Structure 1
Amino acid sequence: MTSTAPHQSILDKPFVLDLFAGPGGLDVAGHALDIPSLGIEWDRSACLTRYAAGLDTLHADVSAVRRDAFESLPPEINVLAGGPPCQTYSVAGKGAGRKALDEVKRYIERLMAGESDEVIDKDLKTLSDPRTAMVLEPLRYAIRATRSPNRDRRPYDVIVLEQVPAVADLWTHYAKVLKKTGLPDGTEYEVVVGVLATETYGVPQTRSRAVLIARRKGLGVPSLPPATHLAYEAKEWNRRDVPAPRQPHQPTLDERPEPEVEEGRETGEGEEVPQPWRSMGQVLADPVGTHPGRATPFLVRSNYGSSGVPGRRGVRSDEQPAATVTGRISRFVVFEHLDENVVREGARFSMNEAGMLQSFPPDYPWTGTAQAQQVGNAVPPVFGMHLLSAALGLPVPAPEVPGKPWQPTTEEQRAKLRSHGCGAETECTDRCPRPEDQAPPVSSARPRRKASAK
């Protein structure tokens, strides 16, 4: 799954703490790179999926762990990662977070100045939607690490964050204070921020993400992961509701626009030319594991924009990448071509197929309720591999989407993981978050007709 070049990590033994871990996208990425991780996730069903996948998990509220159980975290953790909830920042939501950007920046300044958690927490209660404050948690964890006796007050060596594009401005402010102001103990970081398209890293869907990669000063200057695939441009395709059937093919370089070169980056001699983006048909057509394969050609109709780009909505064929996979993926309508003149509605995407479009391995054990939401909220594992590799100085991952089926845990292994994550082998305990505590305020609840992707 990864490059055959030897590992040259900037850290001897990287160990990731994954905040807002979801069903495991970043942890699956770490697994592929032989990097251990511990995820903190408060959604019960997402935790059940993680246990079934064999991922180390704490079923807990990220804020509560920071306040009450930080000293119980493994002291050897040296990489902080996470994708805070995006609902209040996403263009698909009501935008409480987008409206509060300047206010959140002031909280960042106050945290870096060393203001007490008690005062910050009191003031954060005035936000119209408490989820907006979750974007501050990675910074609060970074500060808490420098005050933890359990880890000899050692700061995290590497920080990797991702969110919807609307958060890029906040990541830029994060970068400014991490580099110029430093944490309250004086620790400073070298930081890079950018908005990346996941299809340019081999994920078979169009999804834009704002990312931040930081390294503690002395560990080198980080850079954004180099693109391995070309960007998808909707205007290059005929997007009629029922285009004439055609045989699936991978577009040639002559058919694609020239890739944009990042400012200040030169193409070195012998550098590989980015490959064409990966299509839905490439990932889903062939049988693998329990996936029976999906007959091509087919069309997929979605009813919303993709990553805030209206031109990406509508109908796509199996020769194109999927639109952004969100919690509405199970409602995508799939049409099959029977012959030149007949098109009929076919089976909608299974959760296994939806996960594969997110670049999860086939047969990933989606478990519990709201599985489509779990899939849509996840970090695409292949994208996560590129982020972690760039952050740690590892070789660029191989371009292919994972094709080997995931092996779920045994019941005994699952019980052991749940005992650690929830406190009991077969059920949640009093230390687990209550479902009613996870609901946003009624005034900020997302309209049912909308969808967002974490």
Structure 2
Amino acid sequence: MIIDLFAGPGGWDVAATRLGLEVVGIERDHAACDTRRAAGLPTVEGDVRDYRPADFLDATDLIGSPPCQPYSVGGKGRGRAALDAVLDMADGLAAREPVAQALTGLDDERTGLVLEPLRWALEALDAGHPFKTLMLEQVPTVLPVWEAFARILRAEGYSVATGRLAAEEYGVPQTRIRAILTATLNGEARLPTPTHRRYRKGVAQADGDLNLLPWVSMADAIGWGMTDRPALTIAVGTAAGGADPSCVGGSGARATLYGERDAGRWIECSRLVPAEALPANRGGRPDTIRLSEQDAAILQSLPADHPFHGTKTKRFEQIGNAVPSLLATHVIATAHGIPIPSPRQAPAARAAA
């Protein structure tokens, strides 16, 4: 059984289930827990800091995607500013020293949550029931933390691989970069091999390595949107404000979308939001590019009918926070030595539409 820390609406867990693996997720957001339960995903509603490996003795593997907001370039940067302190605390955990007092000195309590997977891994080792594999994911700025974890875990007997993975190289219709760590006690840890070409500005979808599939455009995935590139990162709307949760990306990303539209590389949406219902710019065209919940889920390679619960903002927040499920499928399959479903088949998220 896999235990999934910070499980959210189930990006990792949908992938694990597709691969025939049993997974239980810990999540404290009530709306996300409702989503998980409606999707049939085993869920423990609570804070990962209140649990320990001894509470899940059947768990043989660990997944962790701590909150990204403190480390995201779109946030306030408190996690990035505290990176040296976080690395020092990781070394403290490795030495089995208490770090609780140091954690209280962080400006944002979410910053320290990135250490939880290491705490779980070390406690499981010390209890004599180590996790066979570890799979961690975060925004690219967290890679130095994963590299510190790798050094610590290697000293404990793990083989570890870390790196940045581009989501579109695994069939996700989105240009999203994630920092990944995989570790194993059995064999050599590896990051998954790309199945699709990397998106590069100015390079046609049909060009590139003929041994790889073309990247999947936004229009390929949802039938409207950018025809000349994958989608940008899905925005994370929050109850406290932030990016419009029904749009893609932040202000810079929206400018890119408008540029695609004005260059004629955009398929207008007419089936969901009538153009006349949207504010128009001086050219008389929709000034805001909005996605439906279903569209956003597909761009994250989640099932189109994934039963998101909560307010509209909460639902889009869950989608934006989720790990792209196709990327997760490749990471889990590689870590467990499971054959990866053929990428020449339609993406599972789209097939569920």
User: So what's the TM-score if we normalise by structure 2?
Assistant: 0.83
SS at match of 1:394: coil
Quickly say closer, same or farther: Cα 1:39–1:367, change in 2 above 3 A.
Answer: same
Q: Unmatched 5+ residue regions in structure 2?
A: 237-243, 249-253, 262-266, 270-282
Quickly say closer, same or farther: Cα 1:43–1:337, change in 2 above 3 A.
Answer: closer
Contact 2:218–2:229 under 8 Å retained in 1: yes
Does 2:252 match 1:273? Answer: no
Take 2:131 and 2:160, find their aligned partners in 1: how far apart are those partners? 13
Take 1:367 and 1:123, find their aligned partners in 2: how far apart are those partners? 36
Does 2:74 match 1:165? Answer: no
Report the CA distance between 1:126 and its aligned residue. Answer: 1.1
Take 2:232 and 2:17, find their aligned partners in 1: how far apart are those partners? 26
SS at match of 1:71: helix
Partner residue, 2:43: 57
In the TM superposition, 1:371-386 aligns within 5 A as 371-386=315-330
Does 2:307 match 1:365? Answer: yes
Report the CA distance between 1:131 and its aligned residue. Answer: 1.0
Does 2:151 match 1:176? Answer: yes
Does 2:207 match 1:227? Answer: no
Report the CA distance between 1:397 and its aligned residue. Answer: 3.0
Does 2:62 match 1:80? Answer: yes
Partner residue, 1:350: 292
Partner residue, 1:193: 162
Take 1:281 and 1:398, find their aligned partners in 2: how far apart are those partners? 21
Report the CA distance between 1:228 and its aligned residue. Answer: 0.4
Take 1:141 and 1:282, find their aligned partners in 2: how far apart are those partners? 40
Partner residue, 1:23: 9
Q: What RMSD in Å do the two structures reach over aligned CA positions?
A: 2.1
Quickly say closer, same or farther: Cα 1:329–1:357, change in 2 above 3 A.
Answer: farther
Contact 2:182–2:189 under 8 Å retained in 1: yes
Report the CA distance between 1:107 and its aligned residue. Answer: 1.1
Take 1:110 and 1:348, find their aligned partners in 2: how far apart are those partners? 46
Does 2:330 match 1:330? Answer: no
Does 2:78 match 1:101? Answer: no
Which residue, 340, 350, 353 being the options, matches 1:396? 340
Does 2:28 match 1:42? Answer: yes
In the TM superposition, 1:168-317 aligns within 5 A as 168-179=143-154, 181-182=155-156, 188-216=157-185, 219-236=186-203, 251-253=205-207, 258=208, 273-285=211-223, 296=224, 298=225, 317=226
Runs in 1 of length 4+ with deviation above 6 angstroms? Answer: none
Describe the superposition over 1:111-164 as per-residue Cα deviations: whole angstroms up to 9, x where unpaired.
11122xxx311221111221111010001011222344xxxx211110000100
Partner residue, 2:239: none
**Amino acid paired to 2:145:** L
SS at match of 1:106: helix
Take 2:299 and 2:333, find their aligned partners in 1: how far apart are those partners? 21
SS at match of 2:99: helix
Quickly say closer, same or farther: Cα 1:278–1:343, change in 2 above 3 A.
Answer: farther
Take 1:30 and 1:163, find their aligned partners in 2: how far apart are those partners? 18
The structure with the largest alpha-carbon Rg is 1
Partner residue, 1:318: 227
Take 1:252 and 1:91, find their aligned partners in 2: how far apart are those partners? 32
Quickly say closer, same or farther: Cα 1:282–1:57, change in 2 above 3 A.
Answer: same
Contact 2:174–2:299 under 8 Å retained in 1: yes
Quickly say closer, same or farther: Cα 1:398–1:326, change in 2 above 3 A.
Answer: farther
Report the CA distance between 1:329 and its aligned residue. Answer: 4.4
**Amino acid paired to 1:201:** Y
Describe the superposition over 1:5-51 as per-residue Cα deviations: whole angstroms up to 9, x where unpaired.
xxxxxxxxxx2111000100000001110001000011111111101
Take 1:52 and 1:39, find their aligned partners in 2: how far apart are those partners? 14
Report the CA distance between 1:105 and its aligned residue. Answer: 1.4
Partner residue, 2:113: 134
Report the CA distance between 1:279 and its aligned residue. Answer: 1.0
Report the CA distance between 1:192 and its aligned residue. Answer: 0.5
Take 1:25 and 1:174, find their aligned partners in 2: how far apart are those partners? 23
Take 1:366 and 1:319, find their aligned partners in 2: how far apart are those partners? 29
Take 1:222 and 1:114, find their aligned partners in 2: how far apart are those partners? 25
**Amino acid paired to 1:175:** A
Take 1:347 and 1:322, find their aligned partners in 2: how far apart are those partners? 12
Quickly say closer, same or farther: Cα 1:281–1:155, change in 2 above 3 A.
Answer: same
Report the CA distance between 1:229 and its aligned residue. Answer: 0.5
- Aligned residues with identical type, % of pairs: 41
Describe the superposition over 1:329-367 as per-residue Cα deviations: whole angstroms up to 9, x where unpaired.
4034786559xxx97328731101110010011211111
Report the CA distance between 1:99 and its aligned residue. Answer: 1.7
Report the CA distance between 1:88 and its aligned residue. Answer: 1.0
Take 1:128 and 1:163, find their aligned partners in 2: how far apart are those partners? 20
Contact 2:235–2:247 under 8 Å retained in 1: no
Quickly say closer, same or farther: Cα 1:49–1:60, change in 2 above 3 A.
Answer: same
User: So what's the TM-score if we normalise by structure 1?
Assistant: 0.65
Describe the superposition over 1:196-254 as per-residue Cα deviations: whole angstroms up to 9, x where unpaired.
100000000000000000001xx1011110000011113448xxxxxxxxxxxxx312x
**Amino acid paired to 1:103:** A
**Amino acid paired to 2:119:** R
**Amino acid paired to 1:86:** C
Quickly say closer, same or farther: Cα 1:337–1:28, change in 2 above 3 A.
Answer: closer
